[in-house]
Chain A
Amino acid sequence: MAATNEPLDVTPVAPPARRSRRGRSVAVLGGITIIVGVLISQGLVHSLNFFVTVDEVSAQRVTLGTSKVNLEGKVVPGSIQRSAMGSAFVMVGNGKYRVDVSAIGQPPQLFGPNIPVVVVGHFLTPTSTQFVATQIIVKHTATYIAQHPNRVTAPNGTKR
């Protein structure tokens, strides 16, 4: 075996690229695309507009028929009737159109008069204003007001 005087090449070399390494970034990008696609499709399935308002539905009443819809409006004060099965109330928009809602199940804790709500369900018949709801969702406003704005703390720590 002949001895060699050539210097040893110690230049760092990159490891040979493996297919699995290259494929990983493609797999990640593919994964992101699929998950984002699924999320967006879920949003589109449920419509970009989460609800239709009572005013809008009054104009689309015939075309809407008895198909499932998320209907938004404000609860009329004094109209709420609670029972063991659920609750019944009247919902209005900005116009004169009124919808009589019969909701099954317990409403959320913030449900009450003058509160904007979205009811999930359908109209009883294609022409009636009776709406059967399987779910009530409260839609709170963007305004936050102190419950007792004039209340002050006394020197002894009590609220007056």
Chain B
Amino acid sequence: MKKLAAQILGPTALVTTALTVYLGIWVTPQDVVQGNLARMLYIHPAAAWIALYVGFGTAIIASLMYLWPRTRSTAADHVAASAMEVTLVFTILTLITGSLWGRPAWGVWWVWDARLTSTAVLAVLVAGYLALRRAIDDPELRARRSAVLALVAAINVPVVHFAVVWWKTLHQGATILTPGSGILVHGIMAWTMLLSFIAFTLVYAWMVRERYRIAIRQQTRDDRELAHAVSARHSEGGAA
């Protein structure tokens, strides 16, 4: 069952993404105010959903599992690192698509409002996490320190989420799950947006899985090379 799920993950992600593109470009109507610009609705919020909640959420849970002695494992560290790498991709995608949407809609590429600034901080923290991992050679020390950094960086997640509520931002408020109003998107536009969330989540899951598999292969290769080196030293010792 697990193997089957892994096998269909990639194709399912591809199909849902293709369907999102088809509905987003050819089927959904224009927005009454934004016209065709509203088609960014099928990319930008889904990318942000992955960056802020799914990606960071995975990394936080995996980091907690690593720091908790009973659940500590190399796998948890690999999952956290893989999730953070993919999160960086989606955070950058969020910033780029937001900027591309902002220029024609707002009239500016960027403003220093609370939502945009906190999202940029998020990108720096994720990049910093990955930089820290490259700076430490000892695997255990690397896993422990990066897990702590992930949890520290998690403080920024609610700041990004509530920025549009706590402060007056140029960025719009919530469109979905709004208190009292539910979803503020019309008909098929809402369904296509929902599909984009599913498609991006599947793409994310596929990317993390593949990155995790690469990390495991790298570790296996490193372990094998170390075993070869030790064996070679033994041979040298025997020859002497």
Contacts and interface: CB of A to CB of B under 8 A. Distances in A.
Interface of A: 7-8, 10, 12, 14, 21, 24-25, 27-29, 31-32, 35-36, 39-40, 42-43, 45-46, 48-53, 72, 107-111, 115, 118, 135-149, 151
B170 interface: yes
Contacts of A141: 33, 172
Contacts of A144: 31, 34, 38, 41, 175, 184-186, 189
Given A49-B167, A136-B107, A142-B175, A39 B132 contact: no
Given A50-B114, A142-B178, A147-B29, 9 more contacts: A14-B138, A24-B136, A28-B132, A36-B124, A46-B112, A50-B170, A53-B168, A108-B106, A135-B107
A25 B132 contact: yes
A12 B226 contact: yes
Contacts of A7: 237
Given A48-B167, A108-B104, A32 B124 contact: yes
Contacts of B108: 135, 137
29 contacts: A8-B240, A10-B234, A12-B230, A25-B132, A25-B145, A28-B128, A28-B132, A39-B117, A39-B120, A40-B117, A43-B113, A43-B117, A46-B112, A48-B167, A108-B105, A109-B107, A135-B108, A137-B106, A140-B34, A140-B105, A141-B33, A142-B173, A144-B175, A144-B184, A144-B185, A145-B32, A146-B187, A148-B29, A149-B29
Interface of B: 28-35, 37-38, 41, 104-108, 111-114, 117-118, 120-121, 124-125, 128, 131-132, 135-138, 145, 149, 166-170, 172-175, 178, 184-189, 226, 229-230, 233-234, 236-237, 240
Given A8-B240, A25-B145, A145-B186, A50 B167 contact: yes
A153 to B, nearest CB: 9
B106 A142 contact: no
A137 B111 CA distance: 10
Q: Which 8 A-B pairs have the closest CB atoms?
A: A108-B107, A8-B237, A32-B128, A43-B117, A24-B135, A46-B112, A50-B113, A10-B233
A137 to B, nearest CB: 5
B127 to A, nearest CB: 8
Contacts of B172: 139-142
A70 to B, nearest CB: 9
Nearest to B101: A140
A43 B138 CA distance: 37
B114 A48 contact: yes
A40 B121 contact: yes
Contacts of B236: 8
A142 B178 CA distance: 10
A151 B233 CA distance: 78
A147 B31 contact: yes
Nearest to B116: A43
